[in-house]
Amino acid sequence: MIEHTFEEHAEPAAKVDDTIGAMTNDDFEDGAGTGETTDETLPDGLPEKFWDSERQQIPTDELAKSYRALEQKLGSYDGLNIPESPDDYDIDINDQGIQIDPGVNAKLHEAGFSQDQVQLVYDLAGEVLSPMMGKLASDLAIENDKKRLIEHFGGEQKWGEISQQIKAWG
pLDDT tens across the length of the chain (170 residues): 444 444 444 444 444 344 444 444 444 344 444 444 444 678 888 888 888 888 888 888 888 888 777 766 665 555 678 888 999 999 998 877 789 999 999 999 999 999 999 999 999 988 888 888 889 999 999 999 999 999 999 999 999 888 898 889 87
Which helix H or strand E contains 132, and what residues bound it?
A: helix 130-152
Tell me whether residue 93 is in a domain: yes
The answer to whether residue 159 is domain-embedded is yes
- Round to whole Å and give the CA distance between 127 and 135: 13
Domain membership of residue 24 (yes or no) is no
In a domain, 47, yes or no: no
Residue 55: predicted pLDDT: 87
Q: Is residue 109 in some structural domain?
A: yes
Give pLDDT, residue 92: 92
Beta bridge partners, 52, equal: 57
CB 118 within 8 A of CB 89: yes
For residue 70, being part of any structural domain is answered with: no
Residue 34: its pLDDT value, please?
46
> Does 165 map to a domain?
yes
Q: CB neighbours of 170 closer than 8 A, spacing ≥ 6? A: none
Q: How far apart are CA 89 and CA 37, in angstroms?
A: 50
Strands (E), 36-79: none
- Does the pTM of the predicted model rise above 0.85? no
Say which amino acid occupies 151.
E
C-alpha to C-alpha distance for 84 and 77, rounded to whole angstroms: 7
Question: How many domains would you assign to the chain?
Answer: 1
The pLDDT assigned to 149 comes to 92
> What pLDDT shows up at residue 157?
92
Beta-bridged to residue 57, according to DSSP, are: 36, 52
Instruction: For residue 137, tell me if it sits in a domain.
Output: yes
Structural domain boundaries, residue 159: 83-170
